[in-house]
A and B are shown apart, each in its own frame.
Chain A
């Protein structure tokens, strides 16, 4: 718990998708961490968590990336990222090494220090001084790795509950996979399509105007489907709302007109 004497030093795990597709998500994460009293650094040596290789059965490449990432985040009190899936991958590193391999201990150490942003704020440092407003009704998609691997369910909802004017309308099957699954969505496109179509149907039925989640992979998938279906529902990462960073158009949108009136309190 941060206090006057102690400012936790956090290494930001940016994640590939936030870096390339949606820097706003990384900036919003930094803002929240700073509001919570942390100092944030962004290690140069990071790239991807290695999940594409891990889930494609390429252990050697995964191990190489794991070692690089472990080194990159050596010495930080905490490692925090805006994705349950990528942080979940960091947690798998320990399984990649034999018991007598010195890397195993380092991987376990990284696991103990790394957290998804909403669970870090709620579970680790007990921060809930959210200063943001959102004029709209959201529905929340629970991304699989965050939900089932890291136990993230109430944390984002608790924080969203602090956002002024925001309404939450839960959808049916909020915990059902959206069909993204990393390479799954291109290896089995028609099955993935069925799954994401179920998701957009449930999203629509919730009556929400904005779909919110904690993982950009799922959000790109769901936003892409919503737009292809011509639906007006927008999609945003939870940290954009919590940090009040709504200037950027929603994911896959041309402009941010709906948010002209919404601003940080």
Chain B
């Protein structure tokens, strides 16, 4: 996926003017947060579970090597294969090799953000293997040559009209704007693909170390068909998804569904434990797990380690007023919203993604809903510090802060600046009480008035004995 994070500001400006997108974002805002709130209200122990999940994740991350090796040996014991991919490229090559070994022409795919992260579809296509997305949202996006704008609702930026248009263009059917008809159309198209596919690729929400199982959590059931019908099932996932036991997994499942969609439980929770055994009625003959690192291991032991607790529920973006205003595509890469603003700089470099961790008011809403209590504002600030230390922040910001800092460290000078500014702005406002255009403050006065200062500063009045 082409990196467009450096153009965040332009992307955002365009998004704010996009009437259709704004309509779609309005639906998001009215949907997920309300459903989450209701689900949380129905579960008095929710806050305790968040603490438990945070602590458990911390334990896992401190023993990541142990659990990953346990997971690997269990997968092998079950007759499967584990492949370690340090980079996106490694992951893509590994998967292509498996496809070639089994002579695959087409692969069906369940929704996987890690596969977006490593840009798998493009790689497979270039090398003669046709990927077919089977999650409804992803399928629509593939038809439109589009990318997900949200990690669990990939096509959230689209409206019914867009879907109707895309289906009409690609399915050779009369145009319909009835969701039920469109759904049936997608079913018919995909059914053939499920049966024809040589390989099925899914992600994994969790990898269970004690059993060597992977689990996918979906609401459509497409993942089940993807992973059971083809002869080969490849799971692409990332190293921080490992959990010690099935019991631990269930803790995360309880939090995940409620935080994501406000469901008590997701509709399909499907475990894969190795290839088909003798006597099994279905399942793939070959089972592969590709564990992607892609910068994650570098986060272990640093301030960013907390980010690896993320279970990809999307609550942070669902509740983020910035995401809600500009949508996921504005962020210019795979992971949008607050979690993306922390992860993206790690994966594509702070020099490309510096605008993302800055695009936050630090309102703290994301942290307040995160099921594993990731201190997202703190981690975004970490990137701002990194940017500042590397002299990557815009000159205007650096000079502005240094200049301001010079005065802020000198109370007498600071008083003088406050006094002069208060006087100047008060005069500029005259009797109106506000200023509609202020030199050097266009960012403010283009959109709102600047309320005028009262006149004299508090410190001056206090010194004069006013009470």
Known A19-B458, A57-B383, A190-B13; 7 more pairs at CB < 8 Å: A20-B422, A68-B409, A181-B360, A193-B446, A223-B451, A228-B449, A249-B433
Chain B residue numbers with a CB within 8 Å of A59 are 385, 388
- The answer to whether A148 touches B325, judged by C-beta atoms less than 8 angstroms apart, is no
Most buried by A among B383, B456, B458: B458
Asked whether any CB of chain B lies closer than 8 Å to the CB of A136, the reply is no
- The answer to whether A224 touches B434, judged by C-beta atoms less than 8 angstroms apart, is yes
What CA separation (Å) do A86 and B422 show in the bound complex? 20
Chain B residue numbers with a CB within 8 Å of A183 are 397
A253 CB, nearest partner CB in chain B, Å: 5
Could you jot down 30 A-B contacts, CB within 8 Å?
A18-B458, A21-B451, A21-B454, A30-B467, A47-B408, A47-B414, A53-B404, A53-B405, A53-B408, A57-B381, A57-B385, A57-B389, A58-B402, A59-B388, A61-B402, A61-B405, A65-B405, A144-B365, A181-B361, A181-B363, A182-B361, A186-B441, A188-B359, A190-B12, A194-B325, A195-B321, A195-B361, A196-B447, A253-B433, A254-B431
What CA separation (Å) do A71 and B451 show in the bound complex? 33
Asked whether any CB of chain A lies closer than 8 Å to the CB of B418, the reply is yes
What CA separation (Å) do A42 and B368 show in the bound complex? 34
Q: Assess A24 versus B448: contact at CB under 8 Å? Given A42-B462, A53-B401, A194-B16.
A: no
Q: Assess A252 versus B434: contact at CB under 8 Å? Given A16-B418, A144-B362, A181-B363.
A: yes
- The answer to whether A189 touches B450, judged by C-beta atoms less than 8 angstroms apart, is no
Identify B447's interface contact among A27, A145, A189, CB under 8 A.
A189
Closest to A227 in B: B449
- The answer to whether B411 touches A56, judged by C-beta atoms less than 8 angstroms apart, is no
Spot the interface stretch: A2-10, A154-162, A172-180: A172-180
Interface of A (DSSP majority class): helix
- The answer to whether A191 touches B457, judged by C-beta atoms less than 8 angstroms apart, is no
Asked whether any CB of chain A lies closer than 8 Å to the CB of B352, the reply is no
Identify A22's interface contact among B388, B411, B453, CB under 8 A.
B453
- Mark out the residues of chain A between 44 and 84 whose CB falls within 8 Å of any chain B CB in the assembled complex: 44-48, 50, 52-59, 61, 64-65, 68
Asked whether any CB of chain A lies closer than 8 Å to the CB of B322, the reply is yes
- The answer to whether B16 touches A227, judged by C-beta atoms less than 8 angstroms apart, is no
For the complex of A and B, the 7 pairs showing the least CB-CB separation, nearest first, are: A181-B361, A252-B451, A57-B388, A57-B384, A186-B443, A224-B448, A177-B363
Identify B12's interface contact among A54, A191, A198, CB under 8 A.
A191
Q: Assess A22 versus B454: contact at CB under 8 Å? Given A193-B447, A195-B325.
A: yes
Q: Assess A57 versus B387: contact at CB under 8 Å? Given A181-B362, A196-B448.
A: yes
Chain A residue numbers with a CB within 8 Å of B365 are 144, 148, 175-177
* Total chain B interface residues with beta-carbon distance under 8 A: 67
Chain B proximity mask over A223-245: 1 for CB below 8 Å, otherwise 0: 11101100000000000000000
Q: Assess A192 versus B456: contact at CB under 8 Å? Given A47-B414, A176-B321, A184-B360.
A: no
Chain B residue numbers with a CB within 8 Å of A46 are 411
- Mark out the residues of chain A between 211 and 265 whose CB falls within 8 Å of any chain B CB in the assembled complex: 220-221, 223-225, 227-228, 248-249, 251-255
Q: Assess A55 versus B362: contact at CB under 8 Å? Given A20-B418, A42-B462, A189-B443.
A: yes
A181 CB, nearest partner CB in chain B, Å: 3
What CA separation (Å) do A23 and B454 show in the bound complex? 7
Chain A interface (Cβ < 8 Å from any Cβ of B): 14, 16, 18-24, 26-27, 30, 42, 44-48, 50, 52-59, 61, 64-65, 68, 144-145, 148-149, 175-177, 179-196, 198, 220-221, 223-225, 227-228, 248-249, 251-255
Asked whether any CB of chain A lies closer than 8 Å to the CB of B421, the reply is yes
A15 CB, nearest partner CB in chain B, Å: 9
Asked whether any CB of chain A lies closer than 8 Å to the CB of B286, the reply is no
- The answer to whether A42 touches B409, judged by C-beta atoms less than 8 angstroms apart, is no
Chain A residue numbers with a CB within 8 Å of B240 are none
Chain A residue numbers with a CB within 8 Å of B13 are 190
What CA separation (Å) do A145 and B338 show in the bound complex? 17
Asked whether any CB of chain A lies closer than 8 Å to the CB of B204, the reply is no
- The answer to whether A224 touches B451, judged by C-beta atoms less than 8 angstroms apart, is yes
Asked whether any CB of chain A lies closer than 8 Å to the CB of B367, the reply is yes
- The answer to whether A23 touches B456, judged by C-beta atoms less than 8 angstroms apart, is yes
What CA separation (Å) do A149 and B418 show in the bound complex? 28
- The answer to whether B393 touches A252, judged by C-beta atoms less than 8 angstroms apart, is no
Asked whether any CB of chain A lies closer than 8 Å to the CB of B9, the reply is yes
- The answer to whether B458 touches A14, judged by C-beta atoms less than 8 angstroms apart, is yes
What CA separation (Å) do A246 and B1 show in the bound complex? 57
Identify B364's interface contact among A48, A52, A145, A254, CB under 8 A.
A145
What CA separation (Å) do A239 and B447 show in the bound complex? 27
Closest to A56 in B: B401
Asked whether any CB of chain A lies closer than 8 Å to the CB of B192, the reply is no
